[in-house]
Amino acid sequence: MNLFWNASRNGGSFPALSGLLRLGMGSLALAAGFATAPALAQEEETLIEEVVVTGSRIVRSNLTSPTPLQVLSSDDIDLGAEVNIGEFLNQLPALGVPTFNRTNSNFDINNSGVVNIDLRNLGISRTLTLVNGRRFVAGVPGTSAVDLNAIPTAMIERVEIISGGAAAVYGSDAVSGVVNLILKEDFEGVDISTRFEQTDESDGDEYDLGVLIGSNFADGRGNSTVYFGYTEQKGVFSRDRKRTELDAVSPIALGVTDPASIDRGGAVFGQIFPFFSSFPPQGRFDVNGTGSSGDDYTFLPDGTLVDSFFTNGSEAAGRAPDGFNRMAFRTIAIPTERYLLATNTHYDFNDNLTMFLEGTYTSTETDAALEPFPLASDDLFQTNQTGGIPLQYEDSTGTLITNPLIPQVIADAALANGVDGVFFTRRLAEVGAREQLNERQTFRIATGFEGTIEQTGWNWDISYVYGQTTQSQIAPGRVDITSFGQALITENDPDNPGSLRCLDAEARANGCVPANVFGFNSISPEALDFISAAQSRNAKIEQTVWQANLTGDIIEMPAGPLQFAVGAEYREEKSDARNDALTVRGLNSSNQNPSIAGKFDVTEGYLELNAPIL
């Protein structure tokens, strides 16, 4: 019978007690202490074939591990032929769909291209990722989730995975389990590897070049293994796949049950048919405030102004569809480029004392993209009844005028309907695609000493770990909402007859140029310079860990030795993510996103006993 009692003190708060009762056969183990998360070291004693396995500090073989353990060797990893260890692990049945990976984070502005793992679909912050039994700095601000882009696949000797029962040893960030990546050591020679992969559709090229160098030194008492790597994974785009090249939907998905009610250019009931966005690049303009597409105006490619009847991609009345196909811009797999440097070095001072040093540096660049921003005029104007471009107002001389930016036909129709503005929806094609250009750099160093107390045979280790992840992001394809609104309220320019200028004098002083939203490619480069406002974000995550452990046999009992493990750890985590001022205020055509900073520290200890009784 195994009985575990745990307590923790986090940042000076009161201890919190929790208990877990587990039944087994053949042993009695008691774990007690001031910790929920002791990290694990990996050691081998080849004479008795015992190793420290993930899930316990006490030396024992895999067959007597207190928790279910799956071990994957470097041969298994090579067989998977993946350039990213995260993409390999995410194929395992025990792992669910992570919050972020290369194929599902295109819509996440801040974390596009990150690769996480999520055991049992319980959340990326509930899967603890270790390297050589020690913690690795997070890659997502505000979480403990590790970005697997930062760990070179070629340096991994094996992977140990616990998919249950890990929280009793590690705490709440291991509720779903633990993934422990063991690095190669004692490697001698030079290993140069190259790899090229391509999808069946002849795209998504992947390139991988790595150089692994290892050598013993000091008459075999030390070894240093170094890895240099470069990987590039090209993007896969929706427009290049038949099933994703168009915005499409099934009539059944829309709740249509009568085949006769479908008028989609001859589409068969139950068949997928185009269903384009109602935010077109030429604009759609409502002149009576109802928001109904039947009351709109729009433009043909030749500039002709016509009544709009939104067709979602099917042909009607001999006219081409006036919707917008978003899939022409979307990404299935995000382009990712990585530079990697890693080292694992150890030196034996004598048979009982070893120093070790692990170092990792990774630079990752990703480029996600979405279609140009869909703008509705009520994003800009919320003071008038329609949420549209103001129709009439006083100019600089105090004279009541009709906004000269609005085409006469649209203005007359709106005035006849008694509305105070012209509501519109428009795709900002001139601003360009919405991109998320992320550069992440991860640095980690782990060093310390380990050895054996000769008189007792007890094993010990002391370690220090420091990790840092930085993120620099630029996201073009956005606009300044305030500036855009100023650029749509215009008057005739008295200094340049036949030209328009922004009504607001202060805005003109700041470079305001009228932004013509009526028609294809109608916004001038000068207006774009004034209204464009790329998002930016800078984030920094830091982790510091001090750790000490001692384990061994106390006395010999009839059924085996009474074993123990004891240790302590201090950990400090910091996370700081700063957005640009417009993003913080929600004024650059995107969701409001505040800057966030926080930190915590944890002091913990543990005691584990294993008393065999049968």
Q: Is residue 328 scored above 60 in pLDDT?
A: yes
CB 485 within 8 A of CB 380: yes
- The pLDDT, as a whole number, for residue 268 is 44
Burial per residue of 312-331, b for 16 or more beta-carbon CB atoms within 10 angstroms, e otherwise: bbbeeeeeebbbbbbbebbb
SS3 of 485, please? helix
pTM of the full structure: 0.82
Terminal Cα-to-Cα distance of the chain (whole angstroms): 11
Distance CA(345)–CA(184), nearest Å, equals: 10
pLDDT for residue 379 is more than 50: yes
* Overall average pLDDT of the 212-230 stretch: 95
Return d(Cα 530, Cα 29) in angstroms, integer: 69
Per-residue pLDDT reduced to its tens digit, 526-538:
999 999 999 999 9
How confident is the model over 139-177, as pLDDT tens digits? Answer: 999 999 999 999 999 999 999 988 876 776 777 788 888
- Flag the least confident range among 15-24, 106-115, 186-195, 251-260: 15-24
Q: How confident is the model over 290-305, as pLDDT tens digits?
A: 655 556 888 988 888 8
Q: Can you tell me the distance from the alpha carbon of 554 to that of 353, in angstroms, rounded to the nearest whole number? A: 21
Structural contact between residues 177 and 254, judged by C-beta atoms closer than 8 angstroms: no
User: Where do runs of H (alpha helix) occur along 497-558?
Assistant: 505-509, 525-531
Least reliable range by pLDDT among 23-32, 78-87, 308-317, 562-571: 23-32
| Per-residue model confidence as pLDDT tens digits over 42-79 | 444 444 344 545 667 676 655 455 666 788 888 888 88
Q: Can you say whether the dihedral through the CA atoms of 87, 93, 97, 103 is positive or negative?
A: positive
**Each residue's pLDDT tens digit, 479-491:** 999 999 999 999 9
Q: By mean pLDDT, which of 237-246, 331-340, 369-378 is the weakest?
A: 237-246
Nearest alpha carbon to residue 94 among 156, 15, 178, 187:
178
SS (H, E, C) 155-212: HEEEEEEECCCCHHHHCHHHCCEEEEEEECCCCCEEEEEEEEECCCCCCCCEEEEEEE
What is the predicted pLDDT for the residue at 60? 61
- Return the CA Rg of the chain: 31
- The pLDDT, as a whole number, for residue 32 is 37
Cβ–Cβ < 8 Å for 118, 95: yes
Q: Is the pLDDT of residue 270 over 60?
A: no
The two most distant CA atoms of the chain are separated, in Å, by 105
Joined together, the tokens standing for residue 442 give 């991860």
